[in-house]
Amino acid sequence: MLEIDTVMAGVLNSQETSRLAALRAVDILDTPAEPAYDAITRLAAEYFHVDSAVISFADETRVWIKSAWGDSRREIPRSNSLFDLVLTANGPVTIRDVRRDARVGEQALQFCARATVFAVSVPIRSSDQILGSLTLFTQDPREPLTPAELQELEGIAGIVTSQLELRALRKERERQTPGPSSNACERKTWPRSSDLRRALESREFVMYYQPEVDLSTRRIVGLEALIRWQHPKRGLVSPGEFIPLAEECGMILPIGDWGLAEACRQIQMWTREDPRHEPPRVCVNLSARQFQRAGLTDHVEALLLRSGADSRLLGLEMTESSLIHNKESAMDVMESLRALGVSLSMDDFGTGYSSLSYLHSFPFDVLKIDRSFVARISDGPQPQQIVRTIIELANVFELDVVAEGIETREQYRLLRQMGCRFGQGYLFARPMPAEEVGALLRLPGRILPDPEVAALKDRVA
């Protein structure tokens, strides 16, 4: 018996060592407040109508509180905590009366300054390890969450997991990134800023467009404008090879201005080609520098007037990095752009520290689920729940949802099942020149071929 106990203790110690290593990898303990986590606790508290919601992480001796909606302490001792119950159960724990449950030590009550009666806690995982928990508290008795509600709470905890995994990736990237002395201009012999300037002057940049489709009908409902460099010797150069340099060397503004002007010109051209049918909305990515420039709204309005394009057919996509410098200023810019009739999309949702809080605060019309989440959607229940929760959040905020990077029929099927209305990806169409898009817009109903039928024809052939 003693030998078995010794073996079990060794297994548990090994598991705890692995868990603590995963916790150190994300470097979340004792970090400043971050809007993303605060938005999650607020969302959970308001959605489930509870007095307090807490995101916490545990090391060897303590449960440290990253974010709390409602009264809370900064940390409590780990011994006899709700976290230990979640860790032992390897899943959700519900306590109908915290004051009378012998499993819970008095420290658990210190999560909230006010008397707590009901509590439900679900794990927050990363690298298949439980690092923390998302916990709801109420002062009054209530019935346990239904299985569907519990799944929704686990989905919200999954958003925390996504933030942690992105945090770990950023930490790893920082360790691998060369020092500040080796900037992009010094590391590369090509391209240089002079190459970009010459390309702009020689009109070597071209715009490709990737359709966004209604997933239920495959009808083209929008187009994302994507810049390419048609180099006379190197051929078609992808943006990943020159956009980072353009941002560093200050060329992103003139290149971005060209992209906006070209998109407006193309919208008007498609309108003239088929005046009976309005062309789909064309969405253009704005860099952080473009968004922060003075007079952006005036610039966009001037381009629309000059081209004659309908402002309702232009969409602007921005990432979190465009908004973090000055929230009030960003809000003013977005409101003025919306006043023009331009739609606003949050691109790469879920890849930044504060995406959820910005979704809650800023007047977006469209949320684009980052391709990294779509790529993992076939990996199992947890990635699926994350995507499902994002879709449900967008519905709460009355936003359209576009899933990026759909490449397989399984991803397509799962997204439709989850209620995602729109999507784009290689499964439907790759980015293509404007003339090829024009041919697609002439298809009956602008409906793209069914990828499942196309795949079946390929197998038969």
**What's the pLDDT tens digit per position in 361-401?**
889 999 999 898 999 999 888 889 889 988 988 888 899 99
**pLDDT computed for residue 460 by the predictor:** 43
Together in a domain, 199 and 143: no
Q: Are residues 138 and 217 in the same domain?
A: no
Closest of 96, 61, 97 to residue 81, by C-alpha = 61
| pLDDT at position 36 | 85
Q: Are residues 288 and 405 in the same domain?
A: yes
Question: How much is the mean pLDDT over the chain?
Answer: 85
347: number of Cβ within 10 Å:
22
CA distance 279 to 282: 9
Q: Beta-strand (E) ranges in 31-70?
A: 52-58, 62-69
Q: Is residue 360 part of a domain?
A: yes
Q: Quickly list H helices, 318-367.
A: 327-340, 355-361
pLDDT of 443-456, one tens digit each?
999 999 988 665 54
The average pLDDT across 225-242 equals 95
Rounded to whole angstroms, the Cα distance separating 193 from 402 reads 34
Contact assessment for residue 63 and residue 75, using Cβ atoms and an 8 Å cutoff: yes
**Highest mean pLDDT of the ranges 159-163, 208-212, 350-354:** 208-212
Q: What is the pLDDT of residues 392-430, one digit of tens each?
A: 888 888 999 999 999 999 999 999 999 999 999 999 999
Domain extent, residue 151, equals 19-170
Same domain, yes or no: 113 and 225: no
Query: Are 323 and 237 contained in the same domain?
Result: yes
β-strand pairing of 400-403 with 366-369: parallel
Q: Distance between CA 267 and CA 279 in Å, rounded? A: 7
Please report whether residue 33 resides in a domain: yes
Counted domains in the chain: 2
- Please indicate, yes or no, if residue 338 is contained in any of the structural domains: yes
Q: Could you read off the pLDDT of 312-346 as tens digits, one per residue? A: 999 999 987 777 767 788 888 899 999 999 999 99
Q: Is the pLDDT of residue 142 over 80?
A: yes
- Residue 3 maps to a domain: no
Question: Residue 6: pLDDT above 50?
Answer: no
Quote the longest CA-to-CA distance of the chain: 85
CA 26, CA 163: separation in Å to the nearest integer? 10
Q: What is the pLDDT of residue 3?
A: 42
CATH number at residue 221: 3.20.20.450
